[in-house]
Amino acid sequence: MSELVNIYCHECDTEVHAHFHDQSATLSVRGEQIDYSETVAICPICGEIIGDTRIEGANLERAYGAYRTLHGILSPDDIKSLRNSYGLSLREFSRFLGFGEQTIYRYERGDIPDQSHNTTMLSAKTIQGARLLLSQNRQKLNDRSIARIEQRIQVMADGIAEQSRLHRTLEDREAYEPSATNGYRRLDLDRVAALVYELARKCRDLYWTKLQKALFFADMVCYERSSCSLTGLSYAHATFGPVMDQKDEVRYILVSRGTIGFRECGWGEILVPLQLSTQPFNAEEIVLIDEVASFVNSFSSASELSDFSHDLSCWNGSVDGEIIEYTLNDGEVGRAMFERMNKLRSL
């Protein structure tokens, strides 16, 4: 439930102070029934849903967003970010991709790309795909655009070299024997990528700082239930709660893989799920991830979730920069999560 808003109720023929409510809904998108969360305004007098074009427009975007996520389709922001990475105009980027000149304009304005066009745009995120597109459509482009595309390909090549270096750094961690610092599981980057993707897909407004706490709860609760962490990640004590050890390297690799992206929102960046190559989790682990996502969604901000983590003895029992051993958690993390959710359900 959000703060009160002034809105006109046609049933009561008066302006009322209504609350916004989120509820489950289904909408047909391209002939497919899509489940999503819609926002509605409820009149405090008659109890009816108040129609409002601003709310309905936002709900439509949510449904489209759910459809895009389900099918791995790039969002308008993703497409604009991809075009900007090449430094091309709408017309030149469309030509580079082999599309009609107005196609990218429509997609950046909100039209949902078809699967063929989406696949082509995804290929433009890779060196091989960009080289192929340039060879196929070079004659349609001016010299300035060709130079910018070649420059972008070189930047991606440099990024691959840096990614390789970071991979080697994390591969050293993957070789670590299972211990109390990794939850008795060797670091598994495929599992890390899948967990981050699932949390980005299921958690609202998932900032990078908020993700750190979500991962911590998922791994710790999995350790409580199975004596083994979900990913093999290690977590360190930081001022604002637990964070991934080597978090910057993990972030770089996840972005380079195309697992996630980021979009600017207010004071930070929100994670955007892009595509997942493998799904390594079993049914029980998926249930756990859903529980953690619901728990994370029960907080209105990253700072609230951070404050919650400060009450945990496994965090209090460590100092800044120190790795938080999984064995410090005696079931407290899962109990704290359960008690919060149980309390909220009883309200």
| 20 or 141, which is more confident | 141
Looking at the DSSP bridge assignments, the partners of residue 16 are 7
Q: What is the pLDDT of residues 198-243, one digit of tens each?
A: 999 999 889 999 999 999 999 999 999 999 999 999 999 998 889 9
Cβ–Cβ under 8 Å, residues 147 and 138: no
**Residue 286 is encoded by which pair of tokens?**
């998926």
Q: What is the pLDDT of residues 326-336, one digit of tens each?
A: 998 889 999 99
Please say if the pLDDT value at position 192 is more than 70. Answer: yes
Going from N- to C-terminal start, the domains of the chain cover 5-71, 76-158, 179-346
Arithmetic mean of pLDDT, 6-22: 81
Tell me 177's DSSP state. Answer: P
* HSE-up (13 A, CA, CB side) for residue 69: 21
- Can you name the CATH fold of 5-71? Ubiquitin-like (UB roll) (3.10.20)
Query: Which of 286, 336, 295 lies closest to 314 in space, CA to CA?
Result: 336
**Residue 221: what pLDDT?**
97
**Residue 84: what pLDDT?**
93
Looking at the DSSP bridge assignments, the partners of residue 20 are 41
Q: What is the pLDDT of residues 89-115, one digit of tens each?
A: 999 999 999 998 889 999 999 999 999
CA pseudo-torsion sign 48, 52, 55, 58: positive
Q: Which amino acid, residue 150? A: E
Cα separation, 261 vs 80, in Å, equals 12
**Reported confidence tier of residue 173, pLDDT bands at 50, 70, 90:** low
**Residue 1: what pLDDT?**
41
E strand or H helix at 71, and its extent?
A: helix 53-71
Cα 87 → chain centroid: 25
When mean pLDDT is compared across 6-10, 95-99, 107-111, 247-251, the lowest value belongs to 6-10
- Residue in the block written with tokens 């433009």: 124
**Residue 175: what pLDDT?**
57
Mean per-residue pLDDT of the chain: 88
**Residue 145 is encoded by which pair of tokens?**
């655009």
Please say if the pLDDT value at position 3 is more than 80. Answer: no
Tell me 207's DSSP state. Answer: B
Cα separation, 273 vs 280, in Å, equals 17
Output the DSSP codes for 20-64: EEEEEEEEEETTEEEEEEEEEEE-TTT-PEEP-HHHHHHHHHHHH
Cα separation, 219 vs 38, in Å, equals 30
Cα 305 → chain centroid: 17
Q: How far apart are the first and last CA of the chain?
A: 13
Cβ–Cβ under 8 Å, residues 68 and 75: yes
Query: Which of 201, 216, 233, 222 lies closest to 297 in space, CA to CA?
Result: 201
* E-state strands within the chain: 5-9, 14-29, 32-42, 49-50, 235-238, 241-244, 260-265, 268-273
**Residue 90 is encoded by which pair of tokens?**
């709408």
Cβ–Cβ under 8 Å, residues 213 and 296: yes
Q: What is the pLDDT of residues 24-50, one digit of tens each?
A: 889 998 889 998 888 888 888 888 888
Q: Which long-range contacts (CB under 8 A, 24 or more apart) does 44-47 make?
A: 44/16, 44/17, 44/18, 44/19, 45/9, 45/12, 45/14, 45/16, 46/9, 46/11, 46/12
Residue 292's CB is within 10 A of a number of other CB atoms, namely 27
Please say if the pLDDT value at position 266 is more than 90. Answer: no
Looking at the DSSP bridge assignments, the partners of residue 36 are 25
Cα separation, 91 vs 290, in Å, equals 42
